[in-house]
Amino acid sequence: MGLVFRLFARPILALQDSEKAHLRSLKMLRILCSNPVTRLPLKLLYKPKKKLQINLFGQEYFHPFGLAAGMDKRAEALVGWETIGLGFIEVGGITQHEQDGNPKPRMFRSSSSRSLINRMGFNNPGSKNMALTLKSHFDKYGKPNVPLWINLGKSKSTALDKSHTDYSTTFERLWEFGDVFVINVSSPNTPNLRELQNDKSLAKIIDACQEINRNLAGKNKSSLKPILVKIAPELNDVQLEMIVKTAMSCNCDGIVATNTTTSRPESNSKSDRQIFGQEGGLSGKPLADKSTDFIKKIYSLTGGKWPIIGVGGIMNSDDAWEKITAGASLVQAYSGFVFEGAGLTKSVVNGLSKKLKQNGLAHISEAVGLTHKGNGE
């Protein structure tokens, strides 16, 4: 099915406005998975038969490959993502207040480099509406059978010194629905957001969320919800070490590396140069090496004892394996689904299963950080 997508569907989608094509694909997935009759064929076609179970954050994952934030901002196709076999689903980013995002056009695609540039600006329904959406979904379909992650952003209208209130309010409103929460202080599309990656501002945000976390966990007699931090790939080594130390000292459960990049690859193509000239964050294949390098650095900084989620440029099982052996316990894709289609999940999971056998490993957790042990090539 991946070949069919590349030969037929991808050229058709390439003729459409990137954001419109994205929304149409999301709508199609939601509609096809809205009833058992059309859902079953998709499940048979796309859901991996291999299981590479891994336990992380006290949760069981069927395999380490999940959906990155940004693909399904409004949690419109939760049943669909589960149907095509993803190991976990991250929705959002969600801000305290509803936002339309930046003016259109705001998403651009380079098929030759397999990359996307977006300046969406956290367009989302806001935390109140998202809580209603998730409650309605849970009432109708039940809780997803895979972990649901929620990406938390900052409203554009909220002053930087009030950011902790924005993040913690959204966290409180969505706490009951999410299995894992990701504090996103690294999107390049909200003015000055990346300034929150300094130690004092970041600690203030995390502490505010952790206070809500403790209160709600106590009230509901349940465990704390895992909280992660998502970082930008533009950090220097000193900044990266500072963020890691700050997040760990505030009892964060892990880190997501990385968000989109403001850097651009070189290109001899006139059309690509026009696309790369657009403002916004770049995701896709050109980000792969940079995000993997960050994973290696974080793994070394933490001695491999702090969970890392790898995202950036995963287009196949080789890319996923590279990030896992660099130190990522779980991996995610966004642009990969745009360029490879729904078959990406099965190809990645099946490919990872083969690589485990080739390396004489019995469990996917044994591959995490393998490169640091002089193996895993």
Catalytic residue, chosen from 187, 291, 329, 347, is 187
Q: Are 356 and 375 in contact (CB under 8 A)?
A: no
Q: 148-152 and 180-184 as β-strands: parallel, antiparallel, unpaired?
A: parallel
Residue 101 and residue 285: Cα distance in Å, rounded? 25
Q: Which of 54, 49, 131, 47 is nearest to 82 (CA)?
A: 47
**Is residue 113 annotated as a catalytic residue, yes or no?**
no
List residues with catalytic annotation.
187
